[in-house]
Amino acid sequence: MKFNSFTPPQRTLMGPGPSDVHPRVLEALGRPTIGHLDPQFVAMMDELKQLLQYAFRTTNPLTIPISGPGSAGMEAAFVNLVEPGDTVIVCINGVFGGRMKENVERCGATAVVVEDAWGDPVDPDKVLLALTEHPEASVLAFVHAETSTGARSDAETLCRLAREHGCLVIMDAVTSLGGIPVEIDAWGVDAVYSGSQKCLSCTPGLSPVSFSPRAVKHISSRLHPVQSWFLDLNLVMGYWGGGDTTPKRAYHHTAPINALYGLHESLVMLAEEGLEASWARHRRMHDALRAGLEAMGLEFIVAAPWRLPQLNAVRVPAGVDEAAVRQRLLAEFDLEIGGGLGALAGKAWRIGLMGHAARPENVRLCVHALGVALAGVDGVAPDAGNAAVSALLDDAAA
Ligand SMILES: *Cc1c(COP(=O)(O)O)cnc(C)c1O
């Protein structure tokens, strides 16, 4: 048997993640591997923490990347803040809220579910009712940017309600970080987790997290030890620092050295561009994509005020096989977009404009390719779509 090296095709990644990785990040990944306690590596880790504080808009000392994908960050938040017997209010308006509930239950706690329709934001009135009816609740958990539907929720209001009822907040910012405002300190989020592969232009596999001093105090005064050894922040802090007492770095697990070079590079790029400029770029690209798709005759699923610029969910026109269209985009245009999940399966496309993918050539390609794939479908006007995109993007360039 003979095997050859794997050479992946060059795709354009405009699905729900992973998204296009910037060439500078790919280049950083190939730099020499050094020891995970090498003084130069430790210095890089310290910078990485500062860069993450910048991205999260926080001064939390415990702001680090977890060695694992966004799901590991999610699990880290729940296993550290939730104990057996606790009550947690969980907001579900898509796939990822559902996973939060599973995490709560696997921690031996009770989940009080606040449910909203897929495509709607979390309703603060329902959350207020749940907080009032469950004074024993210790944590409120919600997803800021529901990647399964493209809906943003009002994080600031939800955090205020939690604070007024003495609850800690766990917020999923996997798809929001870098793409729309995320204000950990201003909003008062106690535990937040994100992912490297969505709006940070980096490869998958790392989960930036941040825990407030309140959360750290809560963790250190737990009655039961954290059930996960690997994700126990009391132990992780010994390697990364970030707790109250961190004189020296000790081995916990071998950090994914080269992957962290990649994340560092992606955050250096974010700082160079500026967070606000990055949010504005996602917004501009969304405006151009929306103009194109709507002019073509496609409809958005989420109401305008709650649309995520970085995740655009559009309705599949009647009679169109959504999976066949995605296959055609991949085969003919090397373009990946996402299909609908759960309640939206077969009914929606999810078009990502995340990180390095949020750029003019991607918007043009996507609208053009969808126009080709949908040519001849009733009510679809491909030329109008392309013209609308050009009008916005050419204008901006002039
Ligand atoms: C992608 C995503 C996750 C999970 O991240 P993985 O890196 O796939 O584990 C969690 N929450 C949201 C909102 C996401 O979009």
Residue 191 falls inside a structural domain: yes
Please state whether the predicted TM-score (pTM) of the whole model is above 0.95: yes
The boundaries of the domain holding residue 258 are: 23-272
pLDDT exceeds cutoff 70 at 246 = no
pLDDT band at residue 397 under the 50/70/90 scheme? low
Please indicate, yes or no, if residue 106 is contained in any of the structural domains: yes
334 φ, ψ (degrees, to nearest 5): 50, 35
Q: Which atom of ligand 1 is nearest to the CA of 71?
A: 9
- pLDDT of residue 333 exceeding 90, the answer is yes
Ligand 1 pocket, 297 CB below 6 A?
Answer: no
Whether residue 248 has pLDDT greater than 80: no
The order of strands in the sheet holding 191-193 is: 62-66, 207-211, 191-193, 168-172, 139-143, 87-92, 110-115
Residue nearest ligand 1's atom 12 by CA: 174
| Confidence label for 1 from pLDDT (cuts 50, 70 and 90) | confident
pLDDT higher for 69 or 243?
69
φ and ψ at residue 192, rounded to 5 degrees: -135, 145
Q: How confident is the model over 337-351, as pLDDT tens digits?
A: 999 998 899 999 999
User: 383 alpha carbon to ligand 1 midpoint, in Å?
Assistant: 35
Q: Is residue 166 part of a domain?
A: yes
91 and 133 share a domain? yes
Q: Give the distance (Å) from ligand 1 centre to CA of residue 174.
A: 6
Ligand 1 centre to CA of 136 (Å) is: 29
- The distance from CA 149 to its chain's CA centroid, rounded to whole angstroms, is 13
Q: How many domains does the chain have?
A: 2
Instruction: Kindly tell me if the per-residue pLDDT of 259 is higher than 60.
Output: yes
Q: Which helix (H) or strand (E) holds 397?
A: helix 382-397
pLDDT, tens digit, 9 for 90 and up, residues 4-63: 999 999 999 999 999 999 999 999 999 999 999 999 999 999 999 999 999 999 999 999
Counting from 1 in the atom list of ligand 1, the atom nearest the Cα of 69 is: 7
Ligand 1 centroid, distance to 315 Cα (angstroms): 22
Convert the pLDDT of each residue in 137-163 to its tens digit. 999 999 999 999 999 999 999 999 999
Q: Determine whether the shortest distance from the Cβ of 204 to ligand 1 is under 6 A.
A: yes
- What is the percent of the chain where pLDDT is above 70? 98
> Could you tell me the CATH number of the domain that includes residue 100?
3.40.640.10
Q: How far is the CA of 16 from the centre of ligand 1 (A)?
A: 9
pLDDT at position 99 over 70: yes
Question: Measured over all CA atoms, what is the biggest interatomic distance in the chain, rounded to whole angstroms?
Answer: 67
Q: Band of the pLDDT at 243, cuts 50, 70, 90?
A: low
Out of 272, 305, 320, pick the residue that ends a domain: 272
Q: What would the DSSP string read from start to end of 139-172?
A: EEEEESEETTTTEE--HHHHHHHHHHTT-EEEEE
Count of residues in the chain: 398
96 lines ligand 1 (CB under 6 A): yes
State residue 197's pLDDT score.
Answer: 98
Number of Cβ within 10 Å of residue 324's Cβ equals 10
> Are 293 and 347 part of one and the same domain?
yes
Distance CA 47, CA 110 (A): 38
Query: Is residue 334 pLDDT above 80, yes or no?
Result: yes
Domain identity same for 149 and 126: yes
For ligand 1, the distance from its centroid to the CA atom of residue 348, given in whole angstroms, is: 19
Side chain identity at residue 38, one-letter code? D
Q: How far apart are CA 361 and CA 332, in angstroms?
A: 16
Helix (H) or strand (E) holding 96: helix 95-106
Provide mean pLDDT across the span 252-264: 96
CA distance 127 to 207: 27
Position 241 scores a pLDDT of 81
Q: Which amino acid is at 257?
A: I
Indicate whether residue 147 lines ligand 1 (CB < 6 A): yes
Please say which residue of 254, 272, 290 terminates a domain.
272
- Which residues 6+ apart lie within 8 Å of 251 measured at CB? 36, 37, 239
Indicate which residue's Cα is closest to atom 2 of ligand 1.
174
